[in-house]
Amino acid sequence: MKAAFIIDRWDPARGGAERATAQLVEHLVATGHEAHVFALRAVAGAPGVVHEIERPLRFRGAMEAEFARRANDAARAAGCDVSVGLRHLEHVDVYWPHGGLHGATLEAVERSHIGFREGVARTLHRVSLKHRTFVNLETGLLSGGGARVVWCVSPMIRDEVAKAHPSATPRLEVHPNGVDLATFHPGLREARRAAFLRRHRIDPDSAVVVFPGGNWSLKGWDVLCHALPATRGPWTLVAAGDDGENASVPASVRERVVLLPRQDPRDLWGAADVCVQPTWRDPCSLATLEALASGVPVVTTAANGAADVAAKLGTVVPAGDASALAAALSDVIARRGPERSRAARDAGADRPVDVWLAGLVASLERAATSRP
């Protein structure tokens, strides 16, 4: 099978969606298939056979639509048996919206801004040609039948799509993200914690709370900052991601917060006692699964598509509720230890990567053989 993946930026280090796609691409290659990636730009060493599409000279919205057309044409010209769209296109065999509905993501971004900034964000989204283009392409894929199969990364996303586009319901398949249990495991603590704490001058006697990821506003950074002053126990927060250098921290807890750029997730989960994800929206967080598989309890919100896994530990709170977040964090910090670590690992082990990848490949093969 020769599979095409269409994405704007091909950089597996960027985060969950790209990292998940890289796992599938690498798996296809390792099992004798071909995986071709069609992108506007790609980092050196990214997996698969990479085809860089020349950036169309258009205004932003028109550029997005033209890139989608060029990428689809290039995939057909390369003789691919099946195409996977990781962004908005006019038509594709398999649509894989890691972020769920674009409109729902925009609404979550708006809610994440406090006060008048919410109204400003809403206005900017409504007038944006790029966002209007994405919503129109998405509607064509879902209600218009432009996508033959739609992969949903969680039941939360399936329900969201089915409600907004009822005609797409028969084409929806749920493939929750999986985690590599051999890469992420409780042994990371012994192998990596001491070196990480020394490197960043963190007190080994305090609980290490890790806030991971990009787009900190959407991931609930402001909510976390409101919760931290009320969080009990000796703790140090390690916030790691692309927004780290510019983040604002409450003065009352500034000495207990370590801001870092993006880190190797194995270092983070090896060092962590708790993972905190007060997200306004995360369709199915890989960080949640990786932390749990590493034996790290996760405190997150019901807006996380992987919340059903974290819920086994009783650590899911409403999005935007700083008081509930502080209480949950305080409780996990107070009760940290081997028993909680084992419970976290057991929860994460329910999502093995091999089962997830097998389901995706089987779906691709069905789509390829049924292609008109």
Domain boundaries, the chain: 2-178+353-369, 187-348
Residue 114, pLDDT score? 60
Lowest mean pLDDT, pick from 52-56, 164-168, 183-187, 241-245: 241-245
Instruction: Return the higher-pLDDT residue of 279 and 109.
Output: 279
Q: Residue 117: is its pLDDT beyond 60?
A: no
Task: Summarize pLDDT for 260-274 with one digit per residue, the tens.
Answer: 988 999 999 999 999
Intra-chain end-to-end CA distance of the chain, in Å: 16
How far apart CA 63 and CA 240 sit, in angstroms, is: 32
φ/ψ region of 149 (left if φ > 0, alpha if ψ in -120 to 50, else beta) reads: beta
SS3 139: helix
Percentage of the chain surpassing pLDDT 90? 69
Residue 17 three-state SS: helix
Multiple choice CATH, 187-348, 3.40.50.2300, 3.40.50.300, 3.40.50.2000, 1.10.1040.10: 3.40.50.2000
Structure tokens at 75: 């995939």
Highest mean pLDDT among 30-44, 83-97, 114-128: 30-44
Structure tokens at 335: 């009760």
Among candidate residues 182, 185, 180, the one with its CA nearest the CA of residue 353: 180
Model confidence band, residue 162 (pLDDT cutoffs 50, 70, 90)? very high
**Residue 126: pLDDT band with limits 50, 70, 90:** low
* Residue in 220, 103, 96 with CA at minimum distance from that of residue 158: 96
What's the Cα-to-Cα distance from 223 to each of 91, 244, 331, rounded to whole Å?
Answer: 38, 16, 18
118 pLDDT higher than 70: no
The sheet carrying 235-240 orders its strands as 257-260, 235-240, 207-212, 274-277, 298-301, 316-317
pLDDT tens-place string over residues 333-351? 999 999 999 999 999 998 9
Residues 255-312 pLDDT 10s: 999 999 889 999 999 999 999 999 999 999 999 999 999 999 999 999 999 999 988 8
Q: What is the pLDDT of residue 124?
A: 47
Q: What would the CATH number be for the domain defined by 2-178+353-369?
A: 3.40.50.2000
β-bridge partners, 316: 300
What is the pLDDT confidence band of residue 116, given thresholds at 50, 70 and 90? very low
Instruction: Calculate mean pLDDT across residues 164-169.
Output: 96
Residue 188 has pLDDT above 70, yes or no: yes
Assess whether pLDDT exceeds 70 at residue 119: no
Query: Would you call 301 exposed, middle or buried from its count of C-beta atoms within 10 A (0-12, 13-18, 19+)?
Result: buried
Which carries the bigger pLDDT value, residue 218 or residue 187? 187
Which tokens is 114 given? Answer: 């406090």
- Higher-pLDDT residue of 371 and 144 is 144
Confidence of residue 372 (pLDDT cuts 50, 70, 90): confident
Q: How far apart are CA 291 and CA 136, in angstroms?
A: 36
Fold match flag (2-178+353-369 vs 187-348)? yes
Residue 75 Ramachandran class (φ > 0 left, ψ -120 to 50 alpha, else beta): alpha
Residue with tokens 């007038």: 127
pTM of the model: 0.87
Number of other residues whose CB lies within 10 A of the CB of residue 22:
21
Is 60 exceeded by the pLDDT of residue 115? no
Q: What per-residue confidence (pLDDT) applies to 127? A: 45
Q: What is the pLDDT of residue 120?
A: 43
Q: Quick check: 140 pLDDT over 80?
A: yes
Of 55-69, 137-151, 265-279, 342-356, the one with minimum mean pLDDT is: 55-69
> Is the pLDDT reported for residue 222 higher than 70?
yes
Can you give the three-state secondary structure of 245-282, one letter per residue? HHCCCCHHHHHHEEEECCCCHHHHHHHCCEEEECCCCE
